[in-house]
Amino acid sequence: MNRKKKIVLIGNGMAGMRTVEHVLKLAPEAYEITVFGAEPHPNYNRIMLSSVLAGGADMKEIVINDLAWYEENKIRLHLGDAVVQIDTKERTVVSASGLKAGYDTLILATGSNPFILPIPGARKEGVIGFRDIKDCELMMEASRKYKKAAVIGGGLLGLEAARGLLHLGMDVSVVHIHPYLMERQLDEPASRMLKRELETQGMKFLLEKQTASIYGGRRAEGLEFADGSRLEADLVVMAVGIKPNIELAKEAGLEVARGIVVNDYLEASAPGVYAVGECAEHRGIAYGLVAPLYEQGSVLAKRLAGADTAGYEGSVTSTKLKVSGVDVFSAGYFNDTPGTRSLRIQDELEGTYRKIVLQDDRLIGAVLFGDTTDGPSLFAKIKSGESVAGKEKELLLGYAPGQAGAGASSPNARLAAMADDEIICGCNGVTKGTIVEAVKGGCASVGEIKACTKASGSCGGCKPLVEGLLHLYAEGDVKTAKEGICGCTPLGRDEIVASIKQMGLKSVREVMNVLEWREPEGCSKCRPALNYYLGMLWPAEYVDEKESRFANERYHANIQKDGTFSVVPRIYGGVTSPAELKRIAAVAEKYDVPMVKFTGGQRLDLLGVKKEDLPKVWEELDMASGHAYSKALRTVKTCVGSTFCRFGTQDSIGMGIRLEKAFERLNTPGKVKLAVSGCPRNCAEATIKDLGVVAIDGGWEIHVGGNGGVKVRAADLLCVVKTEDEVLEWTAGFLQHYREQANWNERTAQWVERVGLDAIKAVLEHAEERQALAARIEDTLSRTTDPWKEIIENEELRKNFEPLQDVQLQNS
């Protein structure tokens, strides 16, 4: 039996993992694959970091390949463990943790690092780059303490950072050394239009300013410029460029210049070693855009799979993006130079600008602002080098002269004219041909195309083009085709729930069969959703399907990046006792728990518990689970209220404990956090919780739909009641109404915004309906027990807790 060859990939980013994806498609059984990632996260879309910062996406939404994908493809993944040494003679690598791995093929995809200006003060606290999730987290944290931010760099990255900081409530100034913004992607007229638009959003600009130093004490307090002027700032984000991460390759003796030098087959200077992505330098160029990196990955994958392939010859780059809500496109050489001629048209009323650059009757560059529909077709002509003599006005206007206007050239005609190799989804490198093939293969909605090809799965800017291709190439009527809860079905949440009710469907498998799921086994999106809907509709009959839950919920603890678990017992209202604390301490000592930490929800978290120890840990704690791992009631945070505080008007501790004991173990569409404040000073932060109760003289306010996470939302006032019993009744009614009406994975903040507070009030203000909802939630809760009791008492279930492998299932 032939031994599989070993691939070691250093770098878990977009370029390297795209290469691995292609290898798995072309030669799925040829290699054993090991991946080392310096970050403690699975492969994610770095392009979407600005959306995370701006609140448009959650961290989990930008993951490209979740941890389950690595496991399914038998990839050994080592997260948070950077490679620190390469031995090209022995063909081995060594990681920071001391792990040694041999390779037949080594792929370097180490990416790049943010360039930090070498100026005085650059190492002060409060000075950061903008390159990864950690940078996003630092900016979010800073925005909660500080108000003035300066972004050095008026390129794409700088503007994205600035927009995110604006969203976080900071006063943001962008400092740029050039006379206009985004000079690498836009010409001056388009840049001026962009600047005006961004100023209306609240951004401030200091152009033609050279930063000389960052002043302040331990922490940055502002910038001083070469002309002697100053700008106050307690957060400084440097977005002045990137530099390939080549130190590891350099230490290994590989040839490096600006990047790791590679040939047309992405081979580095040592046998069996390749480089792709931002760390690679090909023909003197190191690319920073995603499309060239994906092209490199495709060539390398074919090479490794033994498939015929022409070498990589470099890329003509294009940029299609949305900068703070403004559509921008540029490609090729768009500046005016000797030997070229430019045509441009600008519409100040519509806020659009178009420019094309010609040389020897060939289109060599283009800039579009406001309307980027024609970007792909213009880019195709730039790449082809074909003559456009006589078509100049058509290219500039987007329609042939003599026609009534831009509308005369239909979108369908433009899409049909595109070549199959034109990139439609720049974020994921998906071509028109790939999308058309998916449509002809049966994909009948944008959601299904997304699931099949990943097109429109990131920033969403290409969604109109994807939808246009769907309508153009689908056989039959696609007007009824719509996005379902996932790519496995065109059915939405309401249709699925109605069908389950009407047909009396009682299992996940039955729902999939009867409702004709396209994927008979479903996926990680629909299976948990169906499991929840069935449990919500049939609490007396449905048996929870453990295999349809995420790993955290199956093990009743949160998986950490090193494969250990976090155990959080329930501490009602944040109130504990000396005996309980001693018990927790004894368990922590006995099982060598590395860390015991107070959580934001007033509980104790035992971090670093081994999987095989989980049953005994829970048994010896003898405490209810805090459900810190599930979509359920998590915590009820309280202040001390009238029990001790001189400002307290009501017993917030008693109210909080009563609420927590009433609704613990309640499964919900998304995680639910409650809080009770004993007076309007609101020390328990009740007005940014899913449901918050605030004591006032003679009664209680109930606030709903708050969120203190990535996208902060203040809760809305639902009602004012007089008694604790009324608080419980209204809380029960609200939670059950949310359980019955919200989409799976939809937090109360999103649900309240979607359906409107008035619609929720209209239901709950009727006492009979409110009491009926409360009765249904009580019936559901009466049928639940703490999940650990079953495992502690069932020897067969306890056997399932074997040590985990390197890769765990991702959790929502």
Tens-place pLDDT, residues 692-721? 999 998 999 999 999 987 678 999 999 999
> What pLDDT, on the 0 to 100 scale, is given for residue 157?
87
Q: Is 452 part of a structural domain of the chain?
A: yes
Q: For position 422, which CATH number holds?
A: 1.10.10.1100
- The reply to whether 255 and 267 lie within a common domain is yes
> What pLDDT, on the 0 to 100 scale, is given for residue 58?
67
CA distances in angstroms from 311 to 93, 306, 420, listed in the order given: 27, 13, 20
Q: For position 779, which CATH number holds?
A: 3.30.413.10
- The reply to whether 772 and 658 lie within a common domain is yes
CB within 8 Å of 580: residues ≥ 6 apart: 571, 623
CB within 8 Å of 795: residues ≥ 6 apart: none
> What pLDDT, on the 0 to 100 scale, is given for residue 367?
93
Q: Give which of 79, 107, 132 is closest to 10, Cα–Cα.
A: 107
Binding-site positions for siroheme:
683
- The reply to whether 694 and 649 lie within a common domain is yes
Tally of structural domains, the chain: 6
> What pLDDT, on the 0 to 100 scale, is given for residue 726?
96
Low-confidence residues of the chain: pLDDT under 70: 1-2, 54-58, 321-325, 399-411, 413-414, 427, 457-461, 476-483, 551, 561-563, 710, 790-812
Query: Are 108 and 247 within 8 A, CB to CB?
Result: no
Query: Are 743 and 731 within 8 A, CB to CB?
Result: no
> What pLDDT, on the 0 to 100 scale, is given for residue 166?
87
Place of tokens 């960052």: 214
Tens-place pLDDT, residues 381-436? 888 888 999 888 888 887 655 544 444 455 676 677 777 777 787 767 788 888 88
- The reply to whether 671 and 762 lie within a common domain is yes
Chosen domain end from 483, 505, 536: 483
Helix (H, G, I), strand (E, B) or coil at 35: strand
- The reply to whether 651 and 730 lie within a common domain is yes
Query: Are 96 and 76 within 8 A, CB to CB?
Result: no
- The reply to whether 236 and 225 lie within a common domain is yes
> What pLDDT, on the 0 to 100 scale, is given for residue 796?
62
- The reply to whether 639 and 769 lie within a common domain is yes
Q: Is 650 part of a structural domain of the chain?
A: yes
Query: Are 783 and 538 within 8 A, CB to CB?
Result: no
Query: What's the CA gap between 108 and 36, in Å, rounded?
Result: 10
Chosen domain end from 409, 436, 465: 409
Chosen domain end from 240, 255, 277: 240
- The reply to whether 690 and 677 lie within a common domain is yes
Query: Are 279 and 245 within 8 A, CB to CB?
Result: yes
Helix (H, G, I), strand (E, B) or coil at 540: coil
> What pLDDT, on the 0 to 100 scale, is given for residue 406?
43
CB within 8 Å of 478: residues ≥ 6 apart: 444, 445, 470, 471
Cβ count near 641 (within 10 Å): 24
Query: What's the CA gap between 675 and 691, in Å, rounded?
Result: 7
Q: Is 606 part of a structural domain of the chain?
A: no
CA atoms within 13 A on the CB side of 711: 14
Q: For position 293, which CATH number holds?
A: 3.50.50.60
- The reply to whether 637 and 775 lie within a common domain is yes
- The reply to whether 107 and 150 lie within a common domain is no
Q: Is 583 part of a structural domain of the chain?
A: no
Q: Is 84 part of a structural domain of the chain?
A: yes
Place of tokens 């987290």: 137
Query: Are 692 and 659 within 8 A, CB to CB?
Result: no
Binding-site positions:
639, 645, 679, 683
- The reply to whether 727 and 670 lie within a common domain is yes
Query: Are 379 and 366 within 8 A, CB to CB?
Result: yes
Binding-site positions for [4Fe-4S] cluster:
639, 645, 679, 683
CA distances in angstroms from 618 to 338, 596, 601, listed in the order given: 76, 15, 20
Query: What's the CA gap between 131 and 651, in Å, rounded?
Result: 47
Regarding pTM above 0.85, the answer is no
Q: Is 804 part of a structural domain of the chain?
A: no
DSSP letter, residue 577: -
Domain region containing 52: 5-112+244-305
Q: Give which of 699, 675, 700 is closest to 688, Cα–Cα.
A: 675
Q: Is 799 part of a structural domain of the chain?
A: no
Q: Is 232 part of a structural domain of the chain?
A: yes
Tens-place pLDDT, residues 584-607? 999 999 999 999 988 888 889 999
Query: What's the CA gap between 592 and 301, in Å, rounded?
Result: 44
Which stretches within 318-410 are classed as H helix? 375-384, 392-397
> What pLDDT, on the 0 to 100 scale, is given for residue 324?
61
> What pLDDT, on the 0 to 100 scale, is given for residue 801?
67
Place of tokens 């639940």: 784
> What pLDDT, on the 0 to 100 scale, is given for residue 33?
97
Query: What's the CA gap between 596 and 594, in Å, rounded?
Result: 7
- The reply to whether 685 and 770 lie within a common domain is yes
Which stretches within 201-346 are classed as H helix? 247-251, 290-305
Query: What's the CA gap between 325 and 323, in Å, rounded?
Result: 5
